[in-house]
Chain A
Amino acid sequence: MIEKDKTLRTLAIAVAIFAVAGFFLPQWAVFMLTLALAKGLVVLGLLILWRTGLLSFGHALFYCTGGYAVGLAGLWGLTDVVALIALGTVASILLAFALGFLITRYREIYFAMLSMAFSMILYGVLVKSEVLGSTDGFNISPPTFLGVKLEGESLTLGNYLVTCLLVWAAGWGVHRYLQSTMGHMSIGIRDNEIRVEYLGVSVRRVIHVKYVIAAALAGAGGAISAMVVGHIDPDSMAYWTVSGEFVFVTILAGTGSVVAPFLGSIVFELVRTYAFQYTPYTWQLILGSTLLLLILILPDGLWSLFTRRKARV
Protein backbone atom coordinates (compact mmCIF):
# COMPACT_ATOMS: atom_id res chain seq x y z
CA MET A 1 0.00 0.00 0.00
CA ILE A 2 2.83 2.41 0.82
CA GLU A 3 4.48 3.24 -2.49
CA LYS A 4 8.23 3.30 -2.76
CA ASP A 5 9.19 6.95 -2.91
CA LYS A 6 12.32 7.50 -4.97
CA THR A 7 12.32 11.28 -4.93
CA LEU A 8 14.87 11.71 -2.18
CA ARG A 9 17.22 9.22 -3.79
CA THR A 10 16.89 10.97 -7.15
CA LEU A 11 17.55 14.30 -5.46
CA ALA A 12 20.64 13.07 -3.64
CA ILE A 13 22.13 11.41 -6.72
CA ALA A 14 21.40 14.41 -8.94
CA VAL A 15 22.92 16.86 -6.46
CA ALA A 16 25.99 14.64 -6.05
CA ILE A 17 26.50 14.39 -9.81
CA PHE A 18 26.09 18.12 -10.22
CA ALA A 19 28.48 18.87 -7.37
CA VAL A 20 31.17 16.63 -8.83
CA ALA A 21 30.60 18.05 -12.31
CA GLY A 22 31.37 21.47 -10.85
CA PHE A 23 35.04 20.48 -10.67
CA PHE A 24 35.20 19.80 -14.40
CA LEU A 25 32.92 22.38 -15.95
CA PRO A 26 34.22 25.73 -17.19
CA GLN A 27 33.85 28.66 -14.80
CA TRP A 28 31.03 30.36 -16.73
CA ALA A 29 28.98 27.17 -16.64
CA VAL A 30 29.47 26.76 -12.89
CA PHE A 31 28.47 30.39 -12.43
CA MET A 32 25.36 29.89 -14.50
CA LEU A 33 24.42 26.71 -12.64
CA THR A 34 24.82 28.42 -9.28
CA LEU A 35 22.49 31.18 -10.33
CA ALA A 36 20.01 28.68 -11.78
CA LEU A 37 19.98 26.63 -8.59
CA ALA A 38 19.59 29.75 -6.45
CA LYS A 39 16.55 30.74 -8.49
CA GLY A 40 15.41 27.12 -8.31
CA LEU A 41 15.18 27.58 -4.53
CA VAL A 42 12.79 30.47 -5.07
CA VAL A 43 10.72 28.36 -7.44
CA LEU A 44 10.68 25.51 -4.93
CA GLY A 45 8.91 27.90 -2.57
CA LEU A 46 6.43 28.92 -5.26
CA LEU A 47 5.76 25.24 -5.88
CA ILE A 48 4.45 24.90 -2.34
CA LEU A 49 2.11 27.86 -2.83
CA TRP A 50 1.04 26.83 -6.32
CA ARG A 51 0.07 23.38 -5.05
CA THR A 52 -2.25 25.20 -2.70
CA GLY A 53 -3.70 27.12 -5.65
CA LEU A 54 -1.90 30.33 -4.75
CA LEU A 55 0.11 32.24 -7.31
CA SER A 56 2.45 34.86 -5.90
CA PHE A 57 3.11 37.48 -8.53
CA GLY A 58 5.44 39.28 -6.14
CA HIS A 59 7.80 36.69 -4.82
CA ALA A 60 10.73 38.85 -5.85
CA LEU A 61 9.94 40.67 -2.61
CA PHE A 62 11.64 37.93 -0.63
CA TYR A 63 14.31 37.24 -3.23
CA CYS A 64 15.23 40.91 -3.02
CA THR A 65 15.02 40.97 0.78
CA GLY A 66 17.49 38.10 0.95
CA GLY A 67 19.80 39.83 -1.50
CA TYR A 68 19.72 43.22 0.20
CA ALA A 69 20.14 41.63 3.64
CA VAL A 70 23.39 40.13 2.36
CA GLY A 71 24.40 43.43 0.80
CA LEU A 72 23.77 45.38 3.98
CA ALA A 73 25.53 42.80 6.14
CA GLY A 74 28.48 43.06 3.77
CA LEU A 75 28.62 46.81 4.37
CA TRP A 76 28.82 46.03 8.07
CA GLY A 77 31.65 43.59 7.49
CA LEU A 78 29.92 40.23 7.69
CA THR A 79 31.36 37.96 5.01
CA ASP A 80 30.92 34.34 6.09
CA VAL A 81 28.94 32.48 3.44
CA VAL A 82 26.79 30.45 5.83
CA ALA A 83 26.04 33.43 8.07
CA LEU A 84 25.06 35.52 5.05
CA ILE A 85 22.67 32.93 3.64
CA ALA A 86 21.18 32.41 7.09
CA LEU A 87 20.74 36.15 7.45
CA GLY A 88 19.00 36.51 4.08
CA THR A 89 16.72 33.63 4.97
CA VAL A 90 15.86 34.93 8.42
CA ALA A 91 15.17 38.44 7.09
CA SER A 92 12.69 37.00 4.59
CA ILE A 93 11.09 34.79 7.21
CA LEU A 94 10.48 37.74 9.53
CA LEU A 95 9.00 39.82 6.72
CA ALA A 96 6.80 36.98 5.51
CA PHE A 97 5.66 36.19 9.02
CA ALA A 98 4.47 39.78 9.44
CA LEU A 99 2.90 40.11 5.98
CA GLY A 100 1.37 36.67 6.32
CA PHE A 101 -1.22 37.97 8.77
CA LEU A 102 -2.57 40.12 5.97
CA ILE A 103 -2.03 38.11 2.84
CA THR A 104 -3.47 34.84 4.12
CA ARG A 105 -6.91 36.44 3.91
CA TYR A 106 -6.70 36.53 0.13
CA ARG A 107 -6.97 34.00 -2.66
CA GLU A 108 -6.69 33.80 -6.42
CA ILE A 109 -6.00 37.07 -8.20
CA TYR A 110 -6.30 39.07 -4.99
CA PHE A 111 -3.45 37.04 -3.54
CA ALA A 112 -1.47 37.57 -6.75
CA MET A 113 -2.18 41.30 -6.81
CA LEU A 114 -1.44 41.94 -3.15
CA SER A 115 1.84 40.07 -3.30
CA MET A 116 2.69 42.07 -6.41
CA ALA A 117 1.82 45.32 -4.63
CA PHE A 118 4.01 44.40 -1.66
CA SER A 119 6.96 43.67 -3.91
CA MET A 120 6.46 46.94 -5.78
CA ILE A 121 6.48 48.84 -2.50
CA LEU A 122 9.93 47.46 -1.78
CA TYR A 123 10.95 48.32 -5.34
CA GLY A 124 9.62 51.87 -4.92
CA VAL A 125 11.54 52.30 -1.69
CA LEU A 126 14.82 50.92 -3.06
CA VAL A 127 14.70 52.96 -6.24
CA LYS A 128 14.47 56.12 -4.18
CA SER A 129 17.01 55.15 -1.51
CA GLU A 130 20.20 56.95 -2.40
CA VAL A 131 22.04 55.36 0.51
CA LEU A 132 21.51 52.02 -1.22
CA GLY A 133 22.51 53.31 -4.63
CA SER A 134 18.98 53.88 -5.97
CA THR A 135 18.47 52.21 -9.33
CA ASP A 136 22.19 51.40 -9.65
CA GLY A 137 22.29 49.33 -6.49
CA PHE A 138 25.70 48.52 -5.08
CA ASN A 139 28.48 45.93 -5.21
CA ILE A 140 28.96 43.16 -2.71
CA SER A 141 32.35 41.83 -1.76
CA PRO A 142 32.81 38.07 -2.18
CA PRO A 143 31.99 35.84 0.80
CA THR A 144 34.48 33.94 2.89
CA PHE A 145 34.27 30.23 3.66
CA LEU A 146 34.89 29.51 7.35
CA GLY A 147 37.31 32.41 7.41
CA VAL A 148 39.05 31.36 4.19
CA LYS A 149 39.12 33.89 1.39
CA LEU A 150 38.77 32.38 -2.07
CA GLU A 151 39.40 33.97 -5.44
CA GLY A 152 38.71 33.36 -9.10
CA GLU A 153 37.71 29.86 -10.02
CA SER A 154 37.85 28.50 -6.50
CA LEU A 155 35.48 31.23 -5.33
CA THR A 156 32.99 30.29 -8.04
CA LEU A 157 33.34 26.65 -7.12
CA GLY A 158 32.99 27.40 -3.42
CA ASN A 159 29.75 29.27 -3.99
CA TYR A 160 28.53 26.47 -6.19
CA LEU A 161 29.21 23.70 -3.71
CA VAL A 162 27.53 25.58 -0.89
CA THR A 163 24.53 26.10 -3.16
CA CYS A 164 24.42 22.42 -4.07
CA LEU A 165 24.41 21.52 -0.39
CA LEU A 166 21.61 23.94 0.28
CA VAL A 167 19.60 22.64 -2.68
CA TRP A 168 19.88 19.14 -1.31
CA ALA A 169 18.85 20.20 2.21
CA ALA A 170 15.97 22.35 0.97
CA GLY A 171 14.76 19.68 -1.43
CA TRP A 172 14.87 17.07 1.32
CA GLY A 173 13.05 19.26 3.82
CA VAL A 174 10.38 20.41 1.40
CA HIS A 175 9.80 16.87 0.21
CA ARG A 176 9.25 15.72 3.79
CA TYR A 177 6.90 18.64 4.31
CA LEU A 178 4.90 17.91 1.15
CA GLN A 179 4.45 14.29 2.24
CA SER A 180 3.22 15.34 5.67
CA THR A 181 -0.34 15.99 6.72
CA MET A 182 0.12 19.74 6.40
CA GLY A 183 1.78 19.30 3.02
CA HIS A 184 -1.20 17.31 1.81
CA MET A 185 -3.48 19.98 3.19
CA SER A 186 -2.50 21.94 0.06
CA ILE A 187 -4.85 19.97 -2.11
CA GLY A 188 -7.55 20.29 0.53
CA ILE A 189 -7.27 24.05 0.61
CA ARG A 190 -7.13 24.28 -3.15
CA ASP A 191 -10.23 22.13 -3.56
CA ASN A 192 -12.41 23.06 -0.64
CA GLU A 193 -11.55 25.41 2.20
CA ILE A 194 -14.89 24.92 3.91
CA ARG A 195 -14.20 21.25 4.38
CA VAL A 196 -10.72 21.95 5.71
CA GLU A 197 -12.16 24.27 8.36
CA TYR A 198 -14.75 21.63 9.22
CA LEU A 199 -11.94 19.16 9.70
CA GLY A 200 -10.83 21.44 12.50
CA VAL A 201 -7.85 22.91 10.66
CA SER A 202 -7.17 26.63 10.28
CA VAL A 203 -6.80 27.34 6.58
CA ARG A 204 -5.15 30.67 7.26
CA ARG A 205 -2.59 29.20 9.59
CA VAL A 206 -1.68 26.47 7.11
CA ILE A 207 -1.28 29.05 4.34
CA HIS A 208 0.72 31.28 6.65
CA VAL A 209 3.23 28.50 7.27
CA LYS A 210 3.47 27.77 3.56
CA TYR A 211 3.98 31.44 2.82
CA VAL A 212 6.79 31.70 5.35
CA ILE A 213 8.49 28.56 3.99
CA ALA A 214 8.22 29.92 0.46
CA ALA A 215 9.68 33.23 1.61
CA ALA A 216 12.55 31.53 3.44
CA LEU A 217 13.52 29.68 0.27
CA ALA A 218 13.30 32.87 -1.78
CA GLY A 219 15.42 34.70 0.81
CA ALA A 220 18.09 32.01 0.61
CA GLY A 221 17.97 32.13 -3.20
CA GLY A 222 18.30 35.90 -3.18
CA ALA A 223 21.20 35.76 -0.75
CA ILE A 224 23.08 33.33 -2.97
CA SER A 225 22.38 35.34 -6.13
CA ALA A 226 23.64 38.50 -4.48
CA MET A 227 26.88 36.83 -3.38
CA VAL A 228 27.48 35.09 -6.68
CA VAL A 229 26.75 38.06 -8.91
CA GLY A 230 28.50 40.42 -6.51
CA HIS A 231 25.98 43.15 -7.21
CA ILE A 232 22.41 43.98 -6.27
CA ASP A 233 19.96 46.49 -7.71
CA PRO A 234 16.18 46.90 -7.56
CA ASP A 235 15.47 46.19 -11.23
CA SER A 236 17.05 42.77 -11.26
CA MET A 237 15.78 41.77 -7.83
CA ALA A 238 12.47 43.42 -7.00
CA TYR A 239 10.67 44.49 -10.17
CA TRP A 240 7.48 42.64 -11.04
CA THR A 241 9.07 41.10 -14.12
CA VAL A 242 11.47 39.23 -11.83
CA SER A 243 8.50 37.75 -10.01
CA GLY A 244 6.95 36.97 -13.38
CA GLU A 245 10.06 35.00 -14.30
CA PHE A 246 9.78 32.92 -11.12
CA VAL A 247 6.14 32.23 -11.88
CA PHE A 248 7.13 31.25 -15.40
CA VAL A 249 9.66 28.71 -14.19
CA THR A 250 7.14 27.34 -11.68
CA ILE A 251 4.70 26.62 -14.48
CA LEU A 252 7.49 25.36 -16.71
CA ALA A 253 8.76 22.94 -14.08
CA GLY A 254 5.44 21.72 -12.78
CA THR A 255 4.64 20.81 -9.20
CA GLY A 256 5.17 17.08 -9.51
CA SER A 257 8.41 16.83 -7.55
CA VAL A 258 10.88 18.87 -5.51
CA VAL A 259 13.47 18.11 -8.18
CA ALA A 260 11.37 19.82 -10.86
CA PRO A 261 12.03 23.47 -9.84
CA PHE A 262 15.79 22.98 -10.18
CA LEU A 263 15.46 21.18 -13.47
CA GLY A 264 13.12 23.89 -14.75
CA SER A 265 15.41 26.63 -13.55
CA ILE A 266 18.46 25.12 -15.24
CA VAL A 267 16.60 24.66 -18.52
CA PHE A 268 15.38 28.24 -18.28
CA GLU A 269 18.83 29.64 -17.60
CA LEU A 270 20.39 27.58 -20.43
CA VAL A 271 17.80 28.64 -22.96
CA ARG A 272 18.12 32.24 -21.89
CA THR A 273 21.90 32.22 -22.22
CA TYR A 274 21.74 30.84 -25.75
CA ALA A 275 18.72 32.84 -26.84
CA PHE A 276 20.40 36.06 -25.75
CA GLN A 277 23.46 35.10 -27.68
CA TYR A 278 21.84 34.11 -30.95
CA THR A 279 18.44 35.81 -31.15
CA PRO A 280 18.38 38.67 -28.67
CA TYR A 281 15.09 40.04 -29.96
CA THR A 282 13.07 36.88 -29.73
CA TRP A 283 13.92 35.76 -26.22
CA GLN A 284 10.61 36.83 -24.71
CA LEU A 285 8.80 35.52 -27.76
CA ILE A 286 10.23 32.10 -27.02
CA LEU A 287 9.29 32.42 -23.35
CA GLY A 288 5.75 33.48 -24.08
CA SER A 289 5.15 30.78 -26.66
CA THR A 290 6.55 28.15 -24.33
CA LEU A 291 4.30 29.33 -21.53
CA LEU A 292 1.26 29.14 -23.80
CA LEU A 293 2.16 25.67 -24.99
CA LEU A 294 2.66 24.53 -21.42
CA ILE A 295 -0.68 25.85 -20.26
CA LEU A 296 -2.53 24.43 -23.24
CA ILE A 297 -0.71 21.14 -23.72
CA LEU A 298 1.40 20.28 -20.70
CA PRO A 299 -0.40 21.79 -17.71
CA ASP A 300 1.64 19.77 -15.23
CA GLY A 301 4.93 21.10 -16.50
CA LEU A 302 8.14 19.51 -17.73
CA TRP A 303 8.22 17.12 -14.81
CA SER A 304 5.11 15.36 -16.08
CA LEU A 305 7.20 14.14 -19.00
CA PHE A 306 9.09 11.98 -16.52
CA THR A 307 6.18 10.51 -14.67
CA ARG A 308 3.35 8.43 -15.88
CA ARG A 309 0.10 10.20 -15.14
CA LYS A 310 -1.65 8.84 -12.11
CA ALA A 311 -4.11 10.19 -9.60
CA ARG A 312 -2.30 11.01 -6.41
CA VAL A 313 -2.12 13.78 -3.88
Chain B
Amino acid sequence: MAAILETKGLEKSFGSVTAAVGIDVAVDKHEVVGIIGANGAGKTTFINMVTGFVKPDRGRIFFHGRDITALSPRAVTNLGISRSFQIPQVFTSASVADNLLIALGAAERDRFSFWRPLRRKNLLESAAGQMKLFQIADFADHTAATLPQGIRKLLDIAMAVVRRPEILLLDEPTSGVSAEEKFQIMDTVMSALKAQEVTVLFVEHDMEIIARYAQRVIAFYEGTIIADGATEEVLAHEQVRKYVIGEDLRGGDSQAAPARGNGVVRIDKEAGRA
Protein backbone atom coordinates (compact mmCIF):
# COMPACT_ATOMS: atom_id res chain seq x y z
CA MET B 1 0.00 0.00 0.00
CA ALA B 2 1.38 3.44 -0.88
CA ALA B 3 2.10 5.76 2.01
CA ILE B 4 -0.34 8.66 2.37
CA LEU B 5 2.03 10.71 4.52
CA GLU B 6 5.72 10.71 3.88
CA THR B 7 8.56 12.85 5.19
CA LYS B 8 12.04 12.85 3.71
CA GLY B 9 15.12 14.11 5.49
CA LEU B 10 13.37 16.63 7.74
CA GLU B 11 15.72 18.86 9.65
CA LYS B 12 15.00 21.60 12.15
CA SER B 13 16.97 23.39 14.78
CA PHE B 14 16.07 26.16 17.17
CA GLY B 15 19.25 28.11 17.77
CA SER B 16 21.77 25.56 18.95
CA VAL B 17 19.16 22.95 19.79
CA THR B 18 18.60 20.32 17.12
CA ALA B 19 14.94 19.32 17.18
CA ALA B 20 14.98 17.12 14.11
CA VAL B 21 17.55 15.64 11.79
CA GLY B 22 17.06 13.10 9.02
CA ILE B 23 13.46 12.35 9.87
CA ASP B 24 12.10 9.84 7.32
CA VAL B 25 8.63 8.58 8.06
CA ALA B 26 6.07 6.90 5.85
CA VAL B 27 2.56 6.28 7.13
CA ASP B 28 0.02 4.06 5.41
CA LYS B 29 -3.72 4.48 5.35
CA HIS B 30 -5.59 3.35 8.49
CA GLU B 31 -2.43 2.83 10.51
CA VAL B 32 -2.39 3.76 14.17
CA VAL B 33 1.11 4.92 14.94
CA GLY B 34 2.45 5.73 18.39
CA ILE B 35 5.28 8.21 18.73
CA ILE B 36 7.49 7.89 21.78
CA GLY B 37 10.57 9.65 23.04
CA ALA B 38 11.91 11.51 26.04
CA ASN B 39 11.26 15.19 26.61
CA GLY B 40 12.85 17.30 23.91
CA ALA B 41 13.27 14.34 21.54
CA GLY B 42 11.46 16.21 18.77
CA LYS B 43 8.01 14.66 18.83
CA THR B 44 6.01 17.89 18.99
CA THR B 45 8.35 19.50 16.47
CA PHE B 46 7.56 16.63 14.12
CA ILE B 47 3.82 17.27 14.45
CA ASN B 48 4.37 21.00 14.11
CA MET B 49 6.32 20.49 10.89
CA VAL B 50 3.76 18.14 9.35
CA THR B 51 0.91 20.53 10.14
CA GLY B 52 2.68 23.63 8.91
CA PHE B 53 3.13 25.40 12.25
CA VAL B 54 6.91 25.17 11.95
CA LYS B 55 8.80 25.15 8.66
CA PRO B 56 11.58 22.54 8.48
CA ASP B 57 15.05 23.89 7.70
CA ARG B 58 15.58 21.06 5.23
CA GLY B 59 13.63 18.11 3.85
CA ARG B 60 10.22 17.56 2.32
CA ILE B 61 6.80 16.46 3.47
CA PHE B 62 4.44 14.68 1.09
CA PHE B 63 0.74 13.97 1.45
CA HIS B 64 -0.57 11.57 -1.20
CA GLY B 65 2.61 12.34 -3.09
CA ARG B 66 1.94 16.07 -3.04
CA ASP B 67 4.60 18.32 -1.53
CA ILE B 68 3.03 20.13 1.43
CA THR B 69 6.25 21.36 3.03
CA ALA B 70 5.65 25.07 2.58
CA LEU B 71 1.94 25.09 3.32
CA SER B 72 0.26 26.97 6.17
CA PRO B 73 -1.60 25.17 8.96
CA ARG B 74 -4.80 26.28 7.29
CA ALA B 75 -3.87 24.78 3.92
CA VAL B 76 -2.67 21.56 5.50
CA THR B 77 -5.92 21.29 7.44
CA ASN B 78 -7.93 21.85 4.30
CA LEU B 79 -6.08 19.00 2.59
CA GLY B 80 -7.23 16.58 5.27
CA ILE B 81 -4.59 16.60 7.99
CA SER B 82 -5.89 17.62 11.39
CA ARG B 83 -4.24 17.76 14.77
CA SER B 84 -4.95 18.08 18.43
CA PHE B 85 -2.79 19.91 20.94
CA GLN B 86 -0.90 19.03 24.06
CA ILE B 87 -2.52 22.07 25.68
CA PRO B 88 -6.10 22.00 24.35
CA GLN B 89 -6.78 24.85 21.93
CA VAL B 90 -10.47 25.54 22.36
CA PHE B 91 -12.66 28.64 22.38
CA THR B 92 -12.58 29.18 26.12
CA SER B 93 -15.47 31.60 26.44
CA ALA B 94 -17.88 29.51 24.35
CA SER B 95 -19.82 26.45 25.45
CA VAL B 96 -18.78 22.96 24.41
CA ALA B 97 -21.70 22.80 21.99
CA ASP B 98 -20.77 26.14 20.44
CA ASN B 99 -17.13 25.12 20.12
CA LEU B 100 -18.24 22.17 18.03
CA LEU B 101 -20.79 24.24 16.11
CA ILE B 102 -18.11 26.72 15.10
CA ALA B 103 -15.83 23.88 14.07
CA LEU B 104 -18.64 22.30 12.06
CA GLY B 105 -19.48 25.63 10.44
CA ALA B 106 -15.86 26.08 9.45
CA ALA B 107 -15.74 22.56 8.07
CA GLU B 108 -18.59 23.29 5.65
CA ARG B 109 -16.43 25.61 3.56
CA ASP B 110 -19.59 27.27 2.38
CA ARG B 111 -19.46 30.32 0.11
CA PHE B 112 -22.39 31.76 2.01
CA SER B 113 -20.89 31.21 5.43
CA PHE B 114 -21.29 34.95 6.08
CA TRP B 115 -25.04 34.72 5.64
CA ARG B 116 -26.41 31.27 6.49
CA PRO B 117 -27.17 30.91 10.21
CA LEU B 118 -24.81 28.72 12.18
CA ARG B 119 -27.56 27.32 14.38
CA ARG B 120 -29.17 25.23 11.68
CA LYS B 121 -30.88 21.92 12.32
CA ASN B 122 -28.32 19.77 10.56
CA LEU B 123 -25.35 21.42 12.26
CA LEU B 124 -26.97 21.25 15.68
CA GLU B 125 -27.61 17.55 15.09
CA SER B 126 -24.04 16.96 13.93
CA ALA B 127 -22.73 18.76 17.00
CA ALA B 128 -24.93 16.65 19.24
CA GLY B 129 -23.76 13.51 17.46
CA GLN B 130 -20.12 14.48 17.82
CA MET B 131 -20.56 15.18 21.53
CA LYS B 132 -22.16 11.80 21.99
CA LEU B 133 -19.40 10.06 20.08
CA PHE B 134 -16.76 11.66 22.30
CA GLN B 135 -18.88 11.24 25.42
CA ILE B 136 -18.90 14.90 26.34
CA ALA B 137 -22.62 15.51 25.82
CA ASP B 138 -23.11 16.02 29.55
CA PHE B 139 -20.98 19.12 29.29
CA ALA B 140 -22.72 20.59 26.23
CA ASP B 141 -23.71 23.83 27.96
CA HIS B 142 -20.55 24.27 30.01
CA THR B 143 -18.18 27.07 29.09
CA ALA B 144 -14.96 25.55 27.81
CA ALA B 145 -12.85 27.48 30.31
CA THR B 146 -14.52 25.67 33.20
CA LEU B 147 -14.13 22.12 31.89
CA PRO B 148 -12.09 19.43 33.63
CA GLN B 149 -8.84 18.78 31.78
CA GLY B 150 -9.91 15.40 30.45
CA ILE B 151 -13.09 16.78 28.91
CA ARG B 152 -11.22 19.70 27.44
CA LYS B 153 -8.79 17.27 25.82
CA LEU B 154 -11.69 15.33 24.33
CA LEU B 155 -13.26 18.54 23.04
CA ASP B 156 -9.97 19.55 21.46
CA ILE B 157 -9.75 16.23 19.65
CA ALA B 158 -13.44 16.27 18.71
CA MET B 159 -12.97 19.71 17.09
CA ALA B 160 -10.07 18.37 15.06
CA VAL B 161 -12.07 15.37 13.91
CA VAL B 162 -15.01 17.48 12.75
CA ARG B 163 -13.10 18.17 9.55
CA ARG B 164 -13.25 14.41 8.82
CA PRO B 165 -9.50 14.36 8.26
CA GLU B 166 -7.69 11.51 6.57
CA ILE B 167 -4.88 11.81 9.06
CA LEU B 168 -5.13 12.92 12.64
CA LEU B 169 -2.08 13.81 14.69
CA LEU B 170 -2.66 13.75 18.43
CA ASP B 171 -0.07 15.55 20.55
CA GLU B 172 -0.08 13.81 23.93
CA PRO B 173 -3.81 13.16 24.14
CA THR B 174 -3.55 12.02 27.76
CA SER B 175 -1.05 14.47 29.22
CA GLY B 176 -2.21 16.36 32.25
CA VAL B 177 -4.91 13.77 32.87
CA SER B 178 -5.01 11.56 35.93
CA ALA B 179 -3.75 7.99 35.51
CA GLU B 180 -7.23 6.51 36.01
CA GLU B 181 -8.77 8.68 33.31
CA LYS B 182 -6.14 7.96 30.68
CA PHE B 183 -7.48 4.67 29.44
CA GLN B 184 -11.01 5.96 29.48
CA ILE B 185 -10.03 8.90 27.29
CA MET B 186 -8.03 6.76 24.90
CA ASP B 187 -10.87 4.25 24.63
CA THR B 188 -13.29 7.04 23.80
CA VAL B 189 -10.97 8.64 21.27
CA MET B 190 -9.94 5.43 19.57
CA SER B 191 -13.44 4.07 19.20
CA ALA B 192 -14.63 7.43 17.84
CA LEU B 193 -11.79 7.49 15.35
CA LYS B 194 -12.32 3.90 14.32
CA ALA B 195 -15.86 4.83 13.37
CA GLN B 196 -14.47 7.45 10.99
CA GLU B 197 -11.60 5.36 9.58
CA VAL B 198 -8.94 7.93 10.34
CA THR B 199 -5.23 7.31 10.13
CA VAL B 200 -3.80 8.23 13.53
CA LEU B 201 -0.40 9.32 14.79
CA PHE B 202 -0.26 9.96 18.49
CA VAL B 203 2.48 11.12 20.82
CA GLU B 204 2.40 9.33 24.14
CA HIS B 205 4.59 8.91 27.21
CA ASP B 206 2.75 6.08 28.84
CA MET B 207 4.07 2.75 27.47
CA GLU B 208 0.99 0.88 28.59
CA ILE B 209 -1.13 3.09 26.39
CA ILE B 210 1.30 2.68 23.53
CA ALA B 211 1.22 -1.08 23.98
CA ARG B 212 -2.53 -1.18 24.00
CA TYR B 213 -3.45 1.20 21.17
CA ALA B 214 -0.54 1.49 18.72
CA GLN B 215 -0.03 -0.97 15.88
CA ARG B 216 3.30 0.57 15.10
CA VAL B 217 5.71 2.73 17.09
CA ILE B 218 8.26 5.35 16.08
CA ALA B 219 10.84 6.17 18.75
CA PHE B 220 12.53 9.57 18.76
CA TYR B 221 15.77 10.37 20.49
CA GLU B 222 17.44 13.78 20.34
CA GLY B 223 15.84 14.72 17.06
CA THR B 224 16.43 11.41 15.28
CA ILE B 225 14.44 8.24 14.84
CA ILE B 226 16.08 5.34 16.62
CA ALA B 227 13.41 2.72 16.00
CA ASP B 228 10.37 2.33 13.77
CA GLY B 229 8.33 -0.86 13.57
CA ALA B 230 5.70 -3.08 15.09
CA THR B 231 4.87 -2.09 18.65
CA GLU B 232 6.24 -5.11 20.50
CA GLU B 233 9.46 -5.03 18.53
CA VAL B 234 10.13 -1.37 19.14
CA LEU B 235 9.28 -1.58 22.81
CA ALA B 236 11.70 -4.48 23.11
CA HIS B 237 14.40 -2.70 21.14
CA GLU B 238 17.54 -2.28 23.22
CA GLN B 239 18.19 1.40 22.48
CA VAL B 240 14.55 2.25 23.00
CA ARG B 241 14.60 0.53 26.37
CA LYS B 242 17.74 2.40 27.27
CA TYR B 243 16.99 5.91 26.00
CA VAL B 244 13.22 6.13 25.92
CA ILE B 245 11.75 3.83 28.55
CA GLY B 246 14.92 3.58 30.63
CA GLU B 247 13.48 5.40 33.60
CA ASP B 248 10.45 3.19 33.74
CA LEU B 249 12.60 0.06 33.84
CA ARG B 250 14.75 1.41 36.64
CA GLY B 251 11.63 2.35 38.52
CA GLY B 252 10.89 -1.39 38.74
CA ASP B 253 7.93 -3.18 37.27
CA SER B 254 6.27 -0.85 34.81
CA GLN B 255 2.90 -2.39 35.71
CA ALA B 256 3.22 -1.14 39.28
CA ALA B 257 1.21 1.88 40.33
CA PRO B 258 4.06 4.06 41.69
CA ALA B 259 5.88 3.97 38.35
CA ARG B 260 2.81 5.26 36.65
CA GLY B 261 2.67 8.06 39.18
CA ASN B 262 6.21 9.02 38.22
CA GLY B 263 5.20 9.07 34.61
CA VAL B 264 2.48 11.61 35.29
CA VAL B 265 4.84 13.94 37.09
CA ARG B 266 7.28 13.80 34.22
CA ILE B 267 4.61 14.59 31.66
CA ASP B 268 3.31 17.52 33.63
CA LYS B 269 6.75 19.04 33.67
CA GLU B 270 6.84 18.99 29.93
CA ALA B 271 3.34 20.33 29.65
CA GLY B 272 4.37 23.33 31.71
CA ARG B 273 7.25 23.97 29.38
CA ALA B 274 5.15 23.32 26.30
Contacts and interface: CB of A to CB of B under 8 A. Distances in A.
Are A and B interaction partners? yes
Interface of A: 1-3, 176-177, 179-185, 187-188, 190-192, 194-202, 209, 311-313
Contacts, number: 108
B93 A190 contact: yes
Contacts of A201: 74, 106
A284 B221 CA distance: 64
A104 B92 CA distance: 22
A209 B94 CA distance: 22
A182 B72 CA distance: 20
B93 A195 contact: no
A119 B159 CA distance: 40
Interface stretch (B11-19, B38-46, B118-126): B118-126
A183 B102 CA distance: 10
A137 B107 CA distance: 50
A184 B95 CA distance: 12
Interface in B90-126: 90-95, 98, 101-103, 105-110, 112-119, 121, 124
B94 A187 contact: yes
B102 A198 contact: no
A182 B89 contact: no
B77 interface: yes
B117 A197 contact: no
B22 interface: no
B77 A200 contact: yes
A266 to B, nearest CB: 28
A184 B118 contact: yes
Contacts of A184: 98, 101-102, 105, 118
A183 B118 contact: yes
B98 A312 contact: yes
22 contacts: A1-B124, A3-B119, A179-B117, A181-B116, A182-B113, A187-B91, A187-B94, A191-B93, A195-B91, A196-B106, A197-B72, A198-B83, A199-B77, A199-B106, A199-B159, A200-B107, A202-B74, A311-B141, A313-B98, A313-B101, A313-B102, A313-B118
Nearest to B104: A181
A38 B249 CA distance: 73
Contacts of B78: 200
A198 B109 contact: no
Contact of B91 (A3, A183, A191, A200): A191
B139 to A, nearest CB: 12
Contacts of A197: 72-74, 77
A311 B143 contact: yes
A293 B83 CA distance: 43
B91 A192 contact: yes
Most chain A beta carbons < 10 A, residue from B74, B109, B110, B112: B74
Nearest to A2: B119
A181 B74 CA distance: 17
A181 B105 contact: yes
A199 B103 contact: yes
Nearest to B124: A1
B125 to A, nearest CB: 9
Contacts of B82: 198
A184 B110 CA distance: 14
Most chain A beta carbons < 10 A, residue from B83, B94, B109: B94
Contact of B118 (A181, A198, A200, A209): A181
A181 B160 contact: no
Contact of A180 (B92, B95, B107, B113): B113
Given A198-B51, A199-B159, A200-B107, A176 B115 contact: yes
Contacts of B109: 200
A198 B77 contact: yes
A243 to B, nearest CB: 26
Nearest to B95: A311
Contacts of A188: 91, 94, 102
Nearest to A310: B141
A179 B121 CA distance: 14
Nearest to B127: A1
A191 B94 contact: yes
A179 B118 contact: yes
Nearest to B92: A191
Contacts of A313: 94-95, 98, 101-102, 118
Contacts of A194: 73, 89
A291 B115 CA distance: 33
A201 B106 CA distance: 7
